[in-house]
Amino acid sequence: MWQSFHSRIVKIAEYLLTRLHNPHNFWLRLLFPYSLHSVFRNASISPKGTGIVVPQLFLIRHWAFTTTKEFIMKDIIIMLVLILIHTVLSAQVAIAPEGNGSAANPYQIATLENLYWVSQNGSCWNAQFSQTADIDASETATWFPNGSGGYYGWMPIGNDTVSFTGFYHGHGYAIKGLYSNRPNQDYVGFFGKCRFTQASDGQVMIRNLTLVDADITGHEHVGALTGYIRGWNDSYILYRPCVYLCHSIANVTGWKHVGGLIGYEARCYLSYSSSSGSVFGDYYVGGLVGALSDHCEIIKSYSSAQVANGNRMGGLVAQINDYAYLRYCYSSGQVVGGSWSGGLVGYVSDSDHTSNAIDCFWDIGSSGINTSAKGTGKTTAQMKQRSTYPASGWLFEGDTIEWWMIEGQTRPILRNEYSANIRTPHQLQMMSIFPDADYQLIWDIDLAGTQNAAEMWATGLNAEGGFSPIGTNEVPFTGTLDGNGHQINNLHIRRSLLYYQSLMGVMAGSELIKLHIVDAFVIGDAYTAGVSGKMVSGASLINCSFDGQIQASGNYTGGLAVLSPKCWCKIQLIVSLVV
């Protein structure tokens, strides 16, 4: 195999030489110098031509040749091999996952290479999948060159020819940085087109998966999770799939039927799910779902995504029709659209009014729009009060808690978003639920949303509010947070009349490790600092840093932390850059 490959390289090199009239051509000598002693790391051609050697660091030995032509030719061969190796090493690689795709032994999706294998094997799209780890998919931004200097990126699972008909369980893990740029293609998202084929109603098809920092562009039927999903019916019996516990932080762009999570949904349930980011399109553009049709329901879900650029747009859903129902949902994203645009729902197209929204709301202030085809508009202040939400469908306490909020400080978010493995800004804030637990950052966290009026903190630029400190004087943070060397970017806190304003309000016997706060802005009264407003009872900061601005109107202010008098605490290897 190598001999054949080697002979082809030689022929290519010979061709290059024949195309150059002068073997001493200036450009040839510039590209292939005579003394090529060292090259890029991690690849070389073996001196005997028997294979490719990949040592950690190597030198290509000085080749001795009798003629200039042979010498230049050898250099060309070496360079071509190195270019080929570099291309192979930087290109996408498909690795079959463990498992056989059955219900008893689903495919185990642990890496990006496993995901790519799935996307390239349509014959397995009727199987069952189980994600077993968080996956960084940012590499997809350099997949499949489009010939114009950019890349097509991720190839969706399921298309108009072969739909995804299987089952995918995310198990609470996330996929970060998924990139798909296919403006002329329909059915674009992590999944392209999903079609339910089971003879059961309400069976979960996509479960417990989060997409973080996704960037998705398509034509028609475009969504971060899936561009299109549809159930079926047998006479008058409906068989509808369920998308359950799914969340997206994404920028989504398309032409028609574009949604922050799902582009087009028919004969389907969507429950306990959310979206944030931005959604742009021309027609039927929704913060959560583009269009909802034919005996569909969205239950206990929300969107804070900005929606812009088109007609028939909605903060939650652009269009609903034919027995489509919204139950216990809300939206808060800005809606900037033309005709038939609404704060919650843009357009209801069924003439007999069979569709409805039950106990659903939108934020009049942050959306910038005071009308909606369905739902009830509320002020931002009302949206931060638990009393706004009827107890019959908005459960904030008891054995079946479904929603969580900090009274007066945040809007509701879903309780199922909580995790000790922090992947999203919401999960960082939800450390307040269990301040005695142990946490870790999975990757960098961007808190730019703490200055976005549409996000859960409902805090606009330069407005009072922002991130709510973890731990209070009454209930301090007593657990641990291991940053794993990651950053928290764009922390914003502005509460000029309150004590203990910092990422961690009060720490008691707790520990923060390898955590770096960058580009932060904190304003408070006494006990205001970058990382911890007050440290007591042996609390520790180890290998942490802070870079940002702090303004305090009261006593006890620290660039990094404030230590309580007469209490032993530990600060080790700390960097604090305060403006």
Digit-coded pLDDT (tens) for 454-489: 999 999 888 999 999 999 999 999 999 999 999 999
The whole-number pLDDT of residue 74 equals 59
The whole-number pLDDT of residue 40 equals 30
pTM: 0.84
CB 491 within 8 A of CB 467: yes
Distance between CA 549 and CA 530 in Å, rounded? 8
The whole-number pLDDT of residue 71 equals 52
Question: Is residue 358's pLDDT more than 70?
Answer: yes
Query: Per mean pLDDT, which range of 63-77, 226-240, 525-539 is the poorest?
Result: 63-77
For the stretch 241-289, pLDDT in tens is 899 999 999 999 999 999 999 999 999 999 999 999 999 999 999 999 9
The crossing angle, in degrees rounded to 10, of helices 2-19 and 68-90 is 120
Residue with tokens 């639920």: 433
Q: Which fold has domain 136-379?
A: Pectate Lyase C-like (2.160.20)
Distance between CA 127 and CA 371 in Å, rounded? 44
CA distances 44 to 16, 31, 564, Å, are: 21, 18, 60
Distance between CA 577 and CA 301 in Å, rounded? 40
Distance between CA 554 and CA 134 in Å, rounded? 43
Question: Is residue 453's pLDDT more than 50?
Answer: yes
- Is residue 418 very low, low, confident or very high in pLDDT (cuts 50, 70, 90)? very high
Chain-centroid distance, C-alpha 353: 36
Nearest CA among 344, 342, 341, 292 for reference residue 321: 292
Question: What does the H/E/C string look like for 86-142?
Answer: HHHHHCCCCCCCECCCCCCCCEEECCHHHHHHHHHCHHHCCCEEEECCCEECHHHHH
- Is residue 561 very low, low, confident or very high in pLDDT (cuts 50, 70, 90)? confident
The whole-number pLDDT of residue 338 equals 83
Strands (E), 480-560: 480-482, 487-489, 492-494, 504-508, 511-513, 516-524, 528-529, 532-536, 540-542, 545-552, 557-558
Distance between CA 204 and CA 206 in Å, rounded? 6
The whole-number pLDDT of residue 461 equals 86
Mean pLDDT of 123-129: 97
Question: Is residue 360's pLDDT more than 50?
Answer: yes
Question: Is residue 104's pLDDT more than 50?
Answer: yes
For the stretch 3-31, pLDDT in tens is 334 444 444 444 444 444 444 444 433 44
CB 235 within 8 A of CB 244: no
For CATH 2.160.20.110, the residue range(s) in the chain are: 136-379
Distance between CA 154 and CA 182 in Å, rounded? 9
Nearest CA among 303, 312, 422, 321 for reference residue 366: 303
For the stretch 139-197, pLDDT in tens is 999 999 999 999 999 999 999 999 999 999 999 999 999 999 999 999 999 999 999 98
The H or E element spanning position 578 is: strand 575-578
Distance between CA 410 and CA 386 in Å, rounded? 10
- Is residue 537 very low, low, confident or very high in pLDDT (cuts 50, 70, 90)? confident
